[in-house]
Structure 1
Amino acid sequence: MTATPGQPDSPSVPCAPRPRRPLPRVPDRPRGPLRDAFALMALPLVAALALPAAFAGGGTRRWFGGRAENQRAEAQAAKDAAAAAFYELDTAQRDLRISIETITAVDDSPAARRAVADFDALGRRIDEVSHRYINAVDAHDLDRDDLEASTASRARGELTAAKEELDRVKQELDRFTEGLGPLLGKAETQLARLAPAVERARQALLGASNALDSVRASQLKADDLAARLAALSPELTKLNQGAGRHGVPETLERAERVTREAEAIRVEAERLPDRAAEIDHRLVSLRTRAQALTTRSEQVDPILSELRRRFTAACWQDLQRVPDDAAEHVRQAETKLAEARSARAEQRWADATALLSTVRALLNSTDEAVSAAGDRLHRLNAVQKDPQQEIERTRFAIRDAQRLAMAGRNTPDPQDARPLDDAVSRLDRAVATLDGRHPDYWHFLTETEAVRRAVARVVSRIREERGTGH
């Protein structure tokens, strides 16, 4: 943005370089302290070369007296000061442009877009004052031999005004730069995260690849994991193309996603030998359990026979299908076990795991049904022998709830008293059913259980309201 004016034929007084109209910014021009030092050092050097000619009697400049020369010197000083202000503003604008480019590379938020627009407007303001400064420099040749004092004085005034305007715009630029702090800090943070994030993604992919190689070396297949790893190849290509092509936020997000997926593949690959061993163990364990349930289900018919002989139909009707259901469930479980063994042999790990889960669910339901028949007979035997134990157990629960409801009160809360009174009446009705010739002991047991559950709900509500928690 600067150039030195042409020198006259006669020796001249040292002067600052005269700027020319702004050219496109060149990145490698001197900047900052180095450029300022160069500008300051150049003036004494030119002065040292010019002085001998001025005093040797060979110069052609005419001597106009002290006032004109004083005005020339003041004008030259104003010109130098304006040039320094111009260069300082130019340097600050270049530095700020780098900050703006950093922000726009990372941030597309409304605040960032507003900062770019403000920077452009400030750039236009800088161009305006720069042109006025250049015009002031071009308007006056301070090296003319016949420079008049009035002309030098006018030049000094215009150059001083240009410097003041440059200084004001520099202050605006400084304030704008300070306001960019949060945006610039966020952008620099993201840029600082970029290279490590991409490197982590590359290392995670390498780790996943090595883990798969190790699994294959142990004669285990990992086709699904290999397919997932292959699907990440396009993502790695985009990471290698860089943020300049795909944007910093997108590249950061892609690197983190690739890292997560590659890490998951690596972990699953490293667990594969243990997973295979676990599947083998479950195949054996569930096969043994299915065989045991087959034996236990054969004992349900004798239990049902005893229930039919000693108790009313209401006590055993819901258990009628247990033997057939148990046999069917065990058969289905054995079929799924065979499919799981095939999946294991073909190293279809996900299929094998899913089939084994189905087997376990079938065996669990069978186990519950078979156990229910034996438990029913045990409980009916106990209540037939001594129903009083069940009655006292339920009455104790009701009395305990009543004491809690009356604690610290003269009268119970109606919302507590009503369900507790209903529980007493319900227990009395259940006890009355035992007086017949063929008591329905199962109905009696289910009623006492229902009463205890209702009482437990009242106790829980009271404790919650009083905040005791126990």
Structure 2
Amino acid sequence: MFGPGGWEDGPDGSERRARGESVTVTTARSWWRRGDNLRAEAQAAKDAAAQAFYELDTAQRDLQISIETISAVDSTPQARQALEGFRTLGEKIDRISGAYIATVDAHDIDRDELDHAAASRAVAELTRAKDDLTNAKTELERYLQSLAPLLDKAENQLARLAPARERAKQSLLAASQALDAVRAAGLKADDLAARLAALGPELTRLNEGASKHGVQDTVRRADEMRRTADAVRAEAERLPERAKEIDKRLVSLRTRVQALGTRAEGVAPVLSELRRRFSAACWQDLQHVPDQAAQAVRLAEDALAEARKARADQRWADATARLATVRAQMDEVDGAVAAAGDRLRRLNEVSKDPTGEVEKTRFAIRDAQRLAMQGRSTPEPRHARPLDDAVARLDRAVGALEGRHPDYWAFLTETAAVRETVNRVVSNIREDRAAGR
């Protein structure tokens, strides 16, 4: 090019310098360097905002896991409040994250024509977005710290879940193996198998997990299944011994029924002697014993036959129940049969010499009187009165023996009642003194 004076301007302005004019030389490379710096600042602001967004997103995911943990375990008002607070905070974070994404989309810092003003706006807006993200993360972390008690409680309950499920399944397996062993030994265990099979629906629910049924219900279900399965296993393992015990009791009770039948036949002669030697009052309450004993023996024999059949059918619970019925019937009749013989023995003793019974009763009264006077010049009226009555009752009982046909059984009954009254007075005196009265 040629300037106005005909001189060609060189690329470095030599013609203008030749004219003595000052020249400021700015190359294209220096302009690009300044643009690169602005672009680098904008990129740094963009990277910082992206890092803040990533950290906020990670923290939000951690908080969501904590909220889900609490919600799975806890249904209290505090847990529901925590969930509502998380929703509110999440909405705020979504707005801040949306604003950040919009800011990133609004600034293309990689384009060639990025000027100073656009780069400055990008730096300012991306920095503001980064600050908003950082503040939101700080707020989220404070909220997470406030959930620590609820989260600790929930995690403790969750820590019980897996072991509880595993224990329940192990118990089910052990019970199943115990049943297989019993069957291999030739014993039936239909009732135990039915109880174990009834756990099938519960096992299905257990496998569906806490996500469907909740942690607390799942742990409770697992514990109940374990207890039931353990009980089935224990009964199955004991079944061979139980069968032996039932066999032994069948033999023992059969012998006892036979012996009791023989003893029951001896009641009639005892009653005959009682009728012959003593007044009606001494034996009237026993006259039903022979018939009662005979009927009880028949019922026991029937129950014993049912027990043998139940044992043969391996209906263990039925066999045990029938044997318990036989034992109860035997105990009742055994007492009645023994009472007849004991009545005759005691009446024989007292009819020969009532002195022993009288002295035993007088000794009890005197002993109580000494205790009542111990440490006192006069006894307590509430203690002395029943003891004085006891003396009078004993004297009347002794006087009643002077008739032609004394009621010795009434005498024995009255002396036993007197001793019982005296024993109550003694107990009252000791209780009063122990209490400082």
Corresponding letter in the other structure for 1:326: A
Q: Which residue does the alignment assign to 1:355?
A: 322
What residue in structure 2 maps to residue 243 of structure 1?
A: 210
Deviation at 1:124, TM superposition (A): 2.0
Q: 1:320, CA displacement in angstroms?
A: 0.7
**Structure 1 residue 282: deviation in Å?**
0.8
Give the drift of 1:87. Answer: 3.3
Call closer, same or farther: CA 1:175–1:412 in 2, change over 3 Å.
farther
Distance in 1 of aligned mates of 2:278 and 2:389 = 29
Is 1:308 matched up with 2:275?
Answer: yes
Deviation sequence 1:8-32 (CA, Å, 0-9, x none) = xxxxxxxxxxxxxxxxxxxxxxxxx
Measured in 2, the distance between the counterparts of 1:218 and 1:364 equals 35
2:116 alignment partner, one of 143, 147, 158:
147
Letter in 1 for 2:410: H
Query: Over residues 388-445 of structure 1, what are the superposed CA-to-partner deviations in whole Å (9 max), with x where a residue is unaligned?
Result: 2212222222222233333344443333333333322222222221222222111111
Residue 285 of structure 1 pairs with residue 252 of structure 2: yes
Q: Map of 1:155-170 to 2, 5 A cutoff? A: 165-170=132-137
Q: Secondary structure at the match of 1:219?
A: coil
| Cα distance in 2 for residues equivalent to 1:355 and 1:141 | 93
- Shift in Å at residue 170 of structure 1? 3.0
Cα separation, 2, equivalents of 1:423 and 1:168: 95
Residue equivalent to 1:296 = 263
Question: Is 1:304–1:316's contact at 8 Å kept on the other side of the alignment?
Answer: yes
- What is residue 5 of structure 2 aligned with on the other side? none
Give the structure 2 partner of residue 343 of structure 1: 310
- Distance, in Å, in 2 between the alignment partners of 1:141 and 1:147 is 13
Aligned equivalents of 1:137, 1:336: Cα separation in 2: 92
Partner of 1:228: 195
1:384 corresponds to which residue? 351
Deviation at 1:334, TM superposition (A): 0.9
Contact residue 62 and residue 145 of structure 1 kept, 8 A: no
Aligned counterpart, 1:98: 65
Q: Deviations over 1:96-115 (max 9, x none)?
A: 11111122223333322221
CA distance change for structure 1 residues 307 and 166 in 2, over 3 Å: closer, same or farther? same
Decide whether aligned partners of structure 1 residues 408 and 136 sit closer, same or farther in structure 2, where only a CA change above 3 A counts: farther
Q: CA deviation at 1:286?
A: 0.8
Q: Identify the match of residue 325 of structure 1 among 283, 292, 295.
A: 292
The partner residue of 2:89 within 104, 122, 125 is 122
Change (3 A) 1:409 1:273: same
Distance 1:322 1:147 in 2: 123
Unaligned runs of 5+ in 1: 1-55
Q: For residues 426 and 178 of structure 1, do their structure 2 counterparts lie closer, same or farther at Cα, with a shift above 3 Å needed? A: farther
Alignment of 1:415 with 2:400, yes or no, is: no
Report Cα offsets for 1:31-60 as digits up to 9, x if no partner: xxxxxxxxxxxxxxxxxxxxxxxxx96575
* 1:404 lines up with 2:379 in the alignment: no
Letter in 2 for 1:116: L
The 8 Å contact of residues 307 and 315 in structure 1, kept in 2 or not, is answered as yes
Q: CA deviation at 1:75?
A: 7.8
**Alpha-carbon distance in structure 1 between the residues aligned to 2:345 and 2:318:** 41
Partners of 1:437 and 1:429 in 2: CA distance: 16
8 Å Cα contact 1:307-1:316 kept in structure 2: yes
Q: What is the alpha-carbon distance in structure 1 between the residues aligned to residue 96 and residue 375 of structure 2?
A: 88
CA–CA separation in structure 1 for the residues paired with 2:305 and 2:289: 24
With over 3 angstroms needed to count, the CA separation of the structure-2 counterparts of 1:81 and 1:404, relative to structure 1, is farther
Q: Return the match for 2:143 from 168, 173, 176.
A: 176
Q: Give the distance between the partners of 1:184 and 1:348, measured in 2 at CA.
A: 52
In structure 1, what residue type is equivalent to 2:319? A
Q: Is 1:369 matched with 2:354? A: no
Which whole-Å CA distance do the structure 2 matches of 1:135 and 1:219 have between them?
78
Do the aligned partners of 1:304 and 1:319 also contact (CA within 8 Å) in 2? yes
Alpha-carbon distance in 1 for matches of 2:186, 2:109 = 91
State the TM-score, normalized to the length of structure 2. Answer: 0.83
Take 1:157 and 1:349, find their aligned partners in 2: how far apart are those partners?
A: 87
Q: Are residues 415 and 181 of structure 1, via their aligned partners in 2, closer, same or farther at CA, if it must alter by over 3 Å?
A: farther
Give, in angstroms, the shift of residue 357 of structure 1: 0.8
Give the aligned residue type for 1:103: I
User: 1:386/1:59 Cα in 2 relative to 1: closer, same or farther (>3 Å)?
Assistant: farther
Which residue is equivalent to 1:29?
none
* Cα distance in structure 2, aligned partners of 1:363 and 1:458: 37
Tell me which moved more, 123-132 or 437-446.
123-132
The alignment partner of 1:108 has SS state of coil
2:407 maps to a residue whose letter is: D
Which deviates further from its counterpart, 401-410 or 203-212? 401-410
Q: Mean alpha-carbon deviation: is it higher for 98-107 or for 122-131?
A: 122-131
Q: Under a length normalisation based on structure 1, what TM-score does the superposition of the two structures give? A: 0.77
Contact preservation (8 Å) 1:106, 1:187 = yes
Equivalent residue for 2:231? 264
User: 2:199 and 2:34 mapped to 1: Cα distance?
Assistant: 83
* CA distance in 1 between partners of 2:404 and 2:256 (Å): 42
Distance in 2 of aligned mates of 1:199 and 1:73: 58
Q: What is the rounded CA distance, in whole Å, between the counterparts of 1:179 and 1:425 in structure 2?
A: 83
1:200 to 167, 170, 174: 167
Give the conservation status (yes or no) of the 8 Å contact 1:61–1:145.
Answer: no
Q: When the two structures are aligned, how many residues end up with a matched partner? A: 408
Distance 1:108 1:200 in 2: 26
Question: Which of 436, 445, 452 lines up with 2:412 in the alignment?
Answer: 445
Between the aligned partners of 1:340 and 1:280, the Cα distance in structure 2 is 10
Aligned-partner Cα distance in 2 for 1:415–1:171: 82
Deviations 1:294-315 (A, max 9, x none): 1111221221122122211111
